[in-house]
Structure 1
Amino acid sequence: MKSKLTVVMYHYVRDLANSRYPGIKGLDLSLFLKQIEFFKENYTIVSVEQVTECIETKRNLPEKSLLLTFDDGYIDHYINVFPVLMENSISGLFSVSGKVLAESKPLNVNKIHYVLAEAGEHRKQELLSKVYKLLDYYRGTEFDYPSNEELYAKLAVANRFDDKDIIFIKRILQAELPERARDLITDDLFREYIPIPESTFSRELYMNFDQMKLMKKSGMHFAVHGYEHYWLEKLNDQEMQKDITMSLDVLEGIIDRERWTMVYPYGSYSREVLSYIADNGCNLGFTTAVRFADIQADAPLLLPRLDTNDFPPKSDNYLKIT
C-alpha cells in the first residue's frame, strides 16, 4: 500500500556506557547507526514535508515510506543524531517542549527518568518505599488524595517496556496527583538521586535555540511538544490552551505558526485539544498509538508511531504489529 507510512519514535540516543547516567533508558549510539543502515536498506526514508504534501494532494507515498521522529529536544539529537542524518541526507522530525528553552529548567518527566535511572533495578524497591513515604508525608496536610494501596491498584499496570512498579512511579508523578504535590515529591527525589544544580542538569540535557536554528537551516523539521510536557487531555480547556500557546510563542522562528506539527506529550490528547490546535494552524499530529500509519485512512492530526525498540537491531517486533 502506497498510503502506508511507518513512523519511528526516539528519545535518548547516546553512548550509554560512557555517559554520566548509563542507566537511562535509551538507544545506544552504536545501535542507532546500525538501525539507520537497516532503514536505508529496507525503506524509503521521507520527510515531514513529503508526508504533508501527499496527504494534502492525496498522492501516494513512495513504497515502504518511513519517517524518523525524535522527542523532547535532547542534546543527544544535536550531537549524535543530527550529524548521522546529515551524512545520510535524511530529514528528521524533532519535537521540543517550550519550557526547556524559555526557562532553562528540566521538565518533571526528565527528572523522573533520571531518578529511575539512578535507582536502577537493584534499588527500585528502595525508590518505591521513598515514594510511599513522601505520599504519606504530604497527604492530609496541604493535599487530600487516596491511600497508597488505592493509588497503586489504580495505576500499576505494566506496559510494553516498563513493569508495574515503574509505571506506578511514573504515573503518580506525571499526572495523578495535584500538580503542586507532583512537583514537591519529584523535587525531593531529584535532589536525593541527582545531586547537581538543576541549571547544570538542564544545560547538559537539552538543545539550545541556536542549535535548533542550525538544524532547521539544514533541513530538519521542528514540532510543538507542549510547554510543560503535560498530559494534555487531563488539563481543563484554559490550561490546555495556555500550555500550547506558550509553546508556540517560544518556538517562534523555528516553526511556521500558519502550518505546524504537533507531537502530543505522552501521546495524550482530547477532542478539545484537536479542535484547538486545528483552529490555530496545526496540520499534522503524532500520537503514541502502536501501529503503522495510513495517510488515506488516518486523521492527519492522529498519526500513530512505533518505537525504536520495535526494529532491528533491538527486536523484530515490527513484524508482529498489524
Structure 2
Amino acid sequence: MNPDVTIVMYHYVRDYQNTKYPDIKGMDVRTFEKQVQYLKNNYNVISMDELVDAIQNGASIDEHSAVLTFDDAYSDHYLYVYPILKKYGVKGAFYVPTGILQDKKVLDVNKIHYILASASHETILQELMLLLDRYRDMYNLETIENYFEKYAHANRWDPEEIIFIKRMLQKGLDQEVRMKITDELFQKFVGQPEEEFSKELYLSTEQILEMQNNGMHFGPHTHDHVWLDSLMKEVQKDQMKKSLHYLKEIGVNLDRWTMCYPYGGYNEDTLTLMEEMGCSAAVTVEPKKFRLNDVNKFELPRLDCNDIEW
C-alpha cells in the first residue's frame, strides 16, 4: 500500500465580518467550516499521530487521507478552529514558535502582516525608505535601488512593492537594523504595546493544554520563527532545543513530536538535526500531494488551504 496523502496548511482563520484587520490574508471561519465538511466528505481525515504511525510503523491508512495543520499558534485557532474541529471529530496539528509565549513578543512576520494591514503599501514603502536612509551610514546599508533589484519580485500572492517590504523586513537586512526598522514601523502604523498585542494574538498555555487534552497535536515551529536555512547548524540546533524545552516545560506531549519549518526554510543541516533530535516527521510548504512511501519523512509537502479544489 502506498496511499496518497494531502496535508493542508492553515494560518489565519478568523471571523472576517467582525475583525479590526480585514486585510490580513486568511480564511473566514464560515468558509473554514464548509471546507472541513468538504474534506470530511471527500477525504479520510486523519490525525498527525496517525500519519506518524503510518510512516514509522507501517500502520494502514486509507487512500485520499488528509491531515489539517495550523501554523503560528494564533488565538484564533482556539476561538474559531478548535470548536469546529471538535464538532466534526477532526484532530488538527498545531505548530508553536515558542518565543511568543516565553517572551510575550510579537513575531516579526506578524508585525509585518499587521503593518501591511494598517496602511497603504505606498505609505509604508515611503516610511521604509526614510528609515533605510536614516540607518544607511550606521549599518553600512546598500542603496534602495540595489535592495529593490534583489527583493522586489512579485509572486502569485503579492505585487512587487509588498514583496519588497516583506523581504526587507524578513531577511534582507542584518538582524539588528531589521528589528529596529520593523519595531518603528509597527509602533507607527499599529500603535499598540507589543506585550498587550501578543497576548491578544497568540494562544495561551492554558488553551494549548486544553486543546491537547482533546486530541490536538502540538509541535515546534522553532523558538523565534526563523529561516532555518539561513543559520549555521549549531544555531538551528539551539532554536530547536529552546522550542522543545519550552513545550516540554508547559506540558506538551513530545513522545512523537513533529516539526514545521518557518517559511518552509530548511537545508541539509536541518534534515540531519531532525534525525539526531528524534523528530518523527516534518512539514514544508511545497504545494503538492504525495504518496506516503515516496517522500522523505522530514520533507512532507503541504497544500495551502486556498489550493484545495472543492
- With normalisation by structure 2, the TM-score equals 0.96
- Residue by residue, what CA displacement relative to the aligned partner does 1:257-304 show, whole Å, maximum 9, x if unpaired? x53110000000111111112211111000001111222010001000
Residues 11 and 26 of structure 1 are in contact (CA less than 8 Å); yes or no, is this contact kept in structure 2? yes
Gaps of 5+ in 1: none
Match of 2:137 among 135, 140, 145: 140
Distance in 2, matches of 1:33 and 1:102, equals 31
**Residue matched to 1:218:** 214
Residues 13 and 27 of structure 2 are in contact (CA less than 8 Å); yes or no, is this contact kept in structure 1? yes
Residues 267 and 288 of structure 1 are in contact (CA less than 8 Å); yes or no, is this contact kept in structure 2? yes
**Residue matched to 1:194:** 190
1:95 is paired with a residue whose SS is strand
Distance in 2, matches of 1:129 and 1:291, equals 37
**Residue matched to 2:39:** 39
Distance in 1, matches of 2:306 and 2:60, equals 28
Deviates most, 22-31 or 89-98: 22-31
1:90 is paired with a residue whose SS is coil
Residues 78 and 207 of structure 1 are in contact (CA less than 8 Å); yes or no, is this contact kept in structure 2? yes
**Residue matched to 1:72:** 72
Q: Kindly report structure 1 stretches of 4+ aligned residues shifted beyond 4 Å.
A: none
Residues 131 and 181 of structure 2 are in contact (CA less than 8 Å); yes or no, is this contact kept in structure 1? yes
Matching of residue 288 in structure 1 with residue 290 in structure 2: no
The alpha carbon displacement at 1:117 in A equals 1.0
- Residue by residue, what CA displacement relative to the aligned partner does 1:124-180 show, whole Å, maximum 9, x if unpaired? 112111111111111111x12321111111112222222221111111111121001
The alpha carbon displacement at 1:196 in A equals 1.3
The one-letter code of the counterpart of 1:222 is F
Matching of residue 255 in structure 1 with residue 253 in structure 2: yes
Residues 107 and 224 of structure 2 are in contact (CA less than 8 Å); yes or no, is this contact kept in structure 1? yes
Residues 2 and 62 of structure 1 are in contact (CA less than 8 Å); yes or no, is this contact kept in structure 2? no
Residues 2 and 60 of structure 1 are in contact (CA less than 8 Å); yes or no, is this contact kept in structure 2? no
Distance in 1, matches of 2:111 and 2:103, equals 15
Matching of residue 126 in structure 1 with residue 123 in structure 2: yes
The alpha carbon displacement at 1:59 in A equals 4.5
1:140 is paired with a residue whose SS is helix
**Residue matched to 2:150:** 154
Residues 257 and 279 of structure 2 are in contact (CA less than 8 Å); yes or no, is this contact kept in structure 1? yes
Distance in 1, matches of 2:35 and 2:101, equals 30
Matching of residue 239 in structure 1 with residue 212 in structure 2: no
2:118 is paired with a residue whose SS is helix
- Residue by residue, what CA displacement relative to the aligned partner does 1:206-235 show, whole Å, maximum 9, x if unpaired? 001111011111000001101110101111
Residues 10 and 71 of structure 1 are in contact (CA less than 8 Å); yes or no, is this contact kept in structure 2? yes
- With normalisation by structure 1, the TM-score equals 0.92
Distance in 1, matches of 2:259 and 2:162, equals 27
Gaps of 5+ in 2: none
**Residue matched to 2:160:** 164
Residues 8 and 67 of structure 1 are in contact (CA less than 8 Å); yes or no, is this contact kept in structure 2? yes
Distance in 1, matches of 2:107 and 2:101, equals 11
- Residue by residue, what CA displacement relative to the aligned partner does 1:17-36 show, whole Å, maximum 9, x if unpaired? 31122221111111111111
Sequence identity, in percent? 40
The one-letter code of the counterpart of 1:88 is Y
1:154 is paired with a residue whose SS is helix
The one-letter code of the counterpart of 2:33 is L
Distance in 1, matches of 2:253 and 2:172, equals 32
Residues 230 and 265 of structure 1 are in contact (CA less than 8 Å); yes or no, is this contact kept in structure 2? yes
Distance in 1, matches of 2:224 and 2:94, equals 16
Residues 5 and 63 of structure 2 are in contact (CA less than 8 Å); yes or no, is this contact kept in structure 1? no
